[in-house]
Copies of this chain bind each other. A is one copy, B any other.
Amino acid sequence: MNWWKVAGGILGGGVILAIGLLIGHFGISKDTKPQWVKELYTDLDEEFIKEFMKEVDNKRIEENLRALSEKPHVATSQADEDLVQLILSRWRDPQIGLDEVKEERYDVFLSFPDSKNPNNVAVVRSDGSTSFTSQYMESPLTDDQKHPDILQPFLAYAPNGTVTIEKKGSNPELALLVNLAKTIDLNGTIAIVRYGGIGRVNKAINAEKFGVIGVIIYTDPKNINDGKSDPHDSYPNSWYLPPSGVERGSFKENFGDQLTPYYPAKDFTYRIPESQIKGISNIPAQPIGYEDAKQLICNLSGSEAPWQGSLGCTYNTGPGFVQTSLFSNSDVQINVYNKRTIKSSANVMGFIRGAVEPDRYIMYGNHRDSWVHGAIDPSSGTAVMLEITRVLGRKLKEGKWRPRRSIIFGSWGAEEFGLIGSTEFAEEYYSKLRDRTAAYINVDIAVFANASLRAQGTPPAQSVIFAASKQVKIPGDSSLTVYENWKNHFNRDSPHYGLIPQMHFNEGSVYGSVIHYTGSTSNTLEVKFTNVFTKCDYKKTSARIYPAYHTAFDTFDYASKYIDPEPLKTAINRYKTASETLEETIQNLKETDETPLRIRMVNDQLMLLERAFTNSMAFPNRLYFSHVLWATRSSSFATFPGLADAYQQATETDTTEDWHMVHHQLTIAIQAVESAASTLELATKL
């Protein structure tokens, strides 16, 4: 499908939205008289934003996208390096460039398949002959799949090895494994598991605990294709995944470079031995398409599995194949030949100096690398970013404009391997970012048609994205704003504001490196647009991406309901009172009181609010995690993850030690809320 024109036509809205986010919505905004107050708010003028928008050229966005996604550009490949040069040359252009541009390199630990020894899953007869081998590469349904630089399917960092065994277990989730282990001896089995739910590597880590020696992972049509598995129903005939499609991915828990936790992967940096890497699996694993998975699953013996997918047969648990099948008396073999290597990966950084508060940063980032072509993710985001910088850069070079605060643009490298580029950046500039970053905006997929905006971020970012999304109309229907359309698709009933669009908080650990490690961003926002190719209502698909989470208020409610409610309630009330008082203070700021330092002071309170929730000791077993309120967690509650996890564990084990841990985590939670309240309270009081 040639969708360049479609994409070019609909990306302009992304630019408008992003510019709205970039120039000045964060912080106090008031329409007052004194000269220096005006100076502070010039860039908030909506007319001014419209002037920018006239410059946006959809044709250029289309050209950007074409250039960016022409070749597969996995991190550190020649194609990736070519894009580094492309972005550098754009940002250094004397007519349209930025104030300062840097190429920043890190030597990072990566993992690639061996093109001469393709990974595979095989079924081997007792005489050693092979009756089945999984496909080495996706079927070439268009010319794109024929590109010689496409990496064979693999899981980055999956341990190498050849494991052969005739027994097979099924189903990845821990609870199900517990049940399964009651009826089948999983020791020495190979498990075939589906994508979805917990992370890829966690499936292997869990399985390993039950003695499983290898993991095959596939994408079930029930989870990704609304149950459709026929080739006629899938790409290139629809947006659904074709039978040979294999999801590649990073196979580790922690983000950032694995050998240099907490420190940038520079030449002076100590690298831990590979044996000390945490959050990885010790057993080989390989992804396959559902076409191949069907061969294995539909021939399994054993009793009916607790979960049934859409491959058109009854899923049995194994172990072993039914005697009447081609695979009777055969062994399953996983062959993994991944190569681990240290390679130089570049971030490209661009800087626009702020006119009034240059030491306050608004960051705008997007990763550059992809597993294959990466046309939508991440190139659509980068295509928009390049058009934004062209428009802003021209105004800048013409001397017509300069933002109130500094803007940092980042094109991150090696993101698909686990947020490596942005993490190394956060590590290198830790202290500066922690103290000066007012907001971080991440735009990954910037394409949208008539479907909804999807935004995830910390709560302070909500009003910003709401304001920006009200300024932009959706393409093809000039009567509907992005905000209204968003609200139509994802909404919630707020006790204060009525029906509003639903913001999502920290899905997975996306941009966790910025939120957790620097603790610097009061406003972290990730903007995505969903449903590029289909006009279907997102609500009606069960596709597993973007699962919904509870809101913060639900979870406060949880916490006060299930955990000793009084201490925490007191802290939350204090926080509530403090935030109401601050809100009132901002509303009532008298003109005479509005000295620049007073405004800066209140803005700093907002800026530092998020930082108050961080505690580097809160998650002793999770590298980097320090945000007490938001984090990935293993239990089913969205906030106070440390507390929720500890509570869940204690209710299960009912040991004194675990109940001690609940108390410990309760202390951490209370202290975090108290700290945040303290930050919000009037700075003019003790």
Contact = CB atoms under 8 A, between A and B. Distances in A.
Determine which residue in A267, A349, A353, A597 has the highest number of CB atoms from chain B within 10 A of its CB, and name it: A597
B684 A408 contact: no
Contacts of A9: none
Nearest first, the 8 closest Cβ-Cβ pairs linking A and B are A359-B683, A351-B686, A268-B567, A431-B612, A431-B675, A270-B664, A358-B684, A270-B663
Interface stretch (A44-52, A634-642, A666-674): A666-674
Nearest to A98: B686
A596 B594 CA distance: 12
A595 interface: yes
A431 B611 contact: yes
A683 B597 CA distance: 18
Contacts of A408: 686
Interface stretch (A167-175, A222-230, A299-307, A600-608): A600-608
A326 interface: no
B595 A430 contact: no
A597 B356 contact: yes
Contacts of A663: 270
Contacts of A431: 608, 611-612, 675-676, 678-679
A269 interface: yes
Nearest to A672: B431
B270 A359 contact: no
B660 A270 contact: yes
A611 B520 CA distance: 13
B686 A349 contact: yes
Contacts of A429: 678
Interface in A628-669: 660, 663-664, 666-668
Most buried by B among A36, A270, A604: A270
Contacts of A353: 684-685
A102 interface: yes
A457 B431 CA distance: 22
Contacts of A432: 612, 675, 678-679
Nearest to A269: B667
A555 to B, nearest CB: 19
Given A270-B663, A359-B604, A262 B36 contact: no
Nearest to A430: B675
A662 to B, nearest CB: 9
A102 B436 CA distance: 32
Interface in A263-277: 263-264, 267-270
A70 interface: no
A88 to B, nearest CB: 14
Nearest to A617: B262
A617 B567 CA distance: 30
Contacts of A595: 36, 596
User: Which of A100, A267, A270, A686 counts the most chain B CB atoms within 10 A?
Assistant: A686
Chain A interface size, under 10 / 10 to 19 / 20 to 34 / 35 or more: 35 or more
A681 to B, nearest CB: 9
A57 interface: no
Contacts of A685: 100, 351, 353
Contacts of A679: 431-432, 435
Nearest to A667: B270
A283 B359 CA distance: 54
A580 B659 CA distance: 54
A206 interface: no
A597 B100 contact: no
A329 interface: no
A666 B100 contact: no
Nearest to A612: B431
A436 B268 contact: no
A664 B260 CA distance: 10
Given A432-B675, A435-B608, A679-B432, A102 B686 contact: yes
A600 B430 CA distance: 21
A130 interface: no
Interface string A221-265: 000000000000000000000000000000000000000001110
Contacts of A608: 431, 435
Interface string A89-133: 000000000001010000000000000000000000000000000
Contact of A601 (B262, B357, B678): B357
A616 interface: yes
A281 B40 CA distance: 59
Nearest to A601: B359
Contacts of A605: 359
A357 B595 CA distance: 10
7 contacts: A100-B685, A268-B666, A269-B667, A431-B676, A431-B678, A595-B596, A600-B600
Interface string A339-369: 0000000000101011011110000000000
A683 B358 contact: yes
A349 B567 CA distance: 23
A387 to B, nearest CB: 21
Contacts of A428: 674
Contact of A270 (B269, B597, B611, B666): B666
Nearest to A428: B674
Contacts of A267: 567
Given A102-B686, A357-B597, A432-B678, 8 more contacts: A100-B685, A100-B686, A263-B667, A270-B660, A353-B685, A354-B684, A358-B684, A431-B679
Interface string A389-433: 000000000000000001010000000000000000000111110
